Amino acid sequence: MRGWALASVVVNAGITVSGAVVRVTGSGLGCPTWPRCTPDSFVPVAHPEVDPLNMAIEFGNRLVTFLVLVVGLACVVAAMRLSPRRESLVRLAWLQPVGIAAQALWGGVVVGTMLNPITVSMHFLLSIGLTAACWALYARAGEGDAPARPVVHRDLRRLGQVLVAAVFVLVVAGVVVTGTGPHSGDVVASRFGFDIETVARLHADVAYLVVGLTFALAFALRVTGAPLRARRAAWTLLAVELLQGVIGYVQYFLGVPAALVTLHVLGSTLVWICALRVVTALRTHDPLDEPAARPVAEAAAPA
């Protein structure tokens, strides 16, 4: 169960990166229709108005959706096969195929609106939400179904929740920067009408806030003697954030090259996953009480 849940986290992170590749290569309308790739074919065929490479890149991204769906269905099967069955895991597992179907339908909206930045932004945020559901399944699959029990002070848990909210705001700010910047996915796509310098600075300011909150939480966990799992999660998040900041500044000063934009999208997804890991490390669900085994002597005694 945990293996498939972890695989779902990986493939959902992967499809955000493949989506970024589609955007930075100008392949957003490589398949100009949906659900067909071209008006008369579900698979790429020669089209006078579309570059074959762009078509292949966009079609490849659509194929990744099927991989994500297969892994999501495997999570459902794994959850249904557990004995005894845990309804909490079944519900979390079903979020994956349902969410993937919603993502696929929203992809049709993105194509139909000619890559409007609002619909493209929502496409990414849906992936972020689905990744959160996948991580919840992975975390809960390693725990029991007892009520959540904090492993740190209440105020530290609240700080962790504030941190996750700040990371989400950071992701949204990054989406706005992307929708304002030069990589639109196609020359016909519209852009947000914001000043790129202003939104980039706002994004950086939120990043400073997130780094500060992360350091505060990591330091507090250290001095209060929190469990090693929680401390490692916080310091790992801080390291990923700092690396992501370096990538962000380098891509900004180099004129936003496509390769670094793709790497930055991967970094934002990893920051989100690591933030979720921090929150789940601040509490635990104790294992379910299992029925005590009958003593051997009792089992062997005559009736």
| Structure tokens belonging to residue 85 | 């069955």
- Where do we find the tokens 């762009």? 54
> Position of tokens 């909150």?
213
- pLDDT tens-digit map of 91-104: 999 999 999 999 99
Query: How confident is the model at residue 49, as a pLDDT?
Result: 79
pLDDT of residue 301: 40
State pLDDT tens for residues 155-189: 999 999 999 999 999 999 999 999 998 888 888 88
The long-range contacts involving 105-108, CB below 8 angstroms and separated by at least 24 positions, are: 107/34, 107/62, 107/65, 108/34, 108/35
Query: Residue 55 and residue 42: Cα distance in Å, rounded?
Result: 12
Model pTM above 0.85? yes
Q: What is the tens place of the pLDDT at every residue in 76-86? A: 999 999 988 89
Q: Is the pLDDT of residue 302 over 70?
A: no
Q: How many residues belong to the chain?
A: 303
Residue 143 structure tokens: 């725990």
Nearest one of 58, 59, 93, 50 to 74, comparing CA atoms: 93
> CA separation (Å) from 13 to 6, 76, 124, 158?
11, 19, 11, 26
Under DSSP, is residue 142 helix (H, G, I), strand (E, B) or coil? coil
Rounded to whole angstroms, the Cα distance separating 264 from 150 reads: 33
